[in-house]
Structure 1
Amino acid sequence: MSALMNVLLALAAVALILVRQFKPQQVGGSRRWWLLPALLLFFSVRNGGLVDQHHRSGSLVLLGAEVLIGVLMGVGWVLTSKTWTEADGTVWSRGTGATAGIWVLGILVRVGLAGLGALAGIHLGTGAILLALAASLLVRGGLLMWRTQPAPASYGAAAAAACAGSARPSRRGSLD
Structure 2
Amino acid sequence: MSALVNLLVVVAVMALVIRRQMRPQRLDGDRRFWVLPVVLGALALRDPRLIDHEHTVLSATLLGCGLAAVLAMGSVWGWTVRLWRAEDGALWATGTKATMAAWAGMIFIRLGLYETGAVLHVHQAGSALLLSLAVLLLVRSLVVNWRARMLEAPDRVAGLR
TM-score (norm 1): 0.84
SS at match of 2:63: helix
Give the Å deviation of 1:47. Answer: 2.2
Give the partner amino acid of 2:135. A
Where relative contact order (Cα < 8 A, 6+ residues apart) is larger, the structure is 2
- Superposition pairs for residues 21-170 of structure 1, below 5 Å? 21-28=21-28, 30-149=30-149, 150-151=152-153, 153=155, 169=156
Give the Å deviation of 1:173. Answer: 6.0
Alignment identity in percent?
38
> 2:81, 2:144 within 8 Å by CA — same for their partners in 1?
no
Give the Å deviation of 1:28. Answer: 2.5
SS at match of 2:84: strand
Distance 1:100 1:113, change over 3 A: same
- Structure 2 portions without partners, runs of 5+: none
* Separation (CA, whole Å) in 2 of partners of 1:48 and 1:152: 47
TM-score (norm 2): 0.91
RMSD: 1.9
* Separation (CA, whole Å) in 2 of partners of 1:55 and 1:115: 15
* Separation (CA, whole Å) in 2 of partners of 1:31 and 1:22: 18
* Separation (CA, whole Å) in 1 of partners of 2:32 and 2:159: 21
Larger radius of gyration between Structure 1 and Structure 2: 1
Distance 1:72 1:172, change over 3 A: farther
Give the Å deviation of 1:18. Answer: 0.5
> 1:147, 1:171 within 8 Å by CA — same for their partners in 2?
no
Number of matched residues?
A: 159
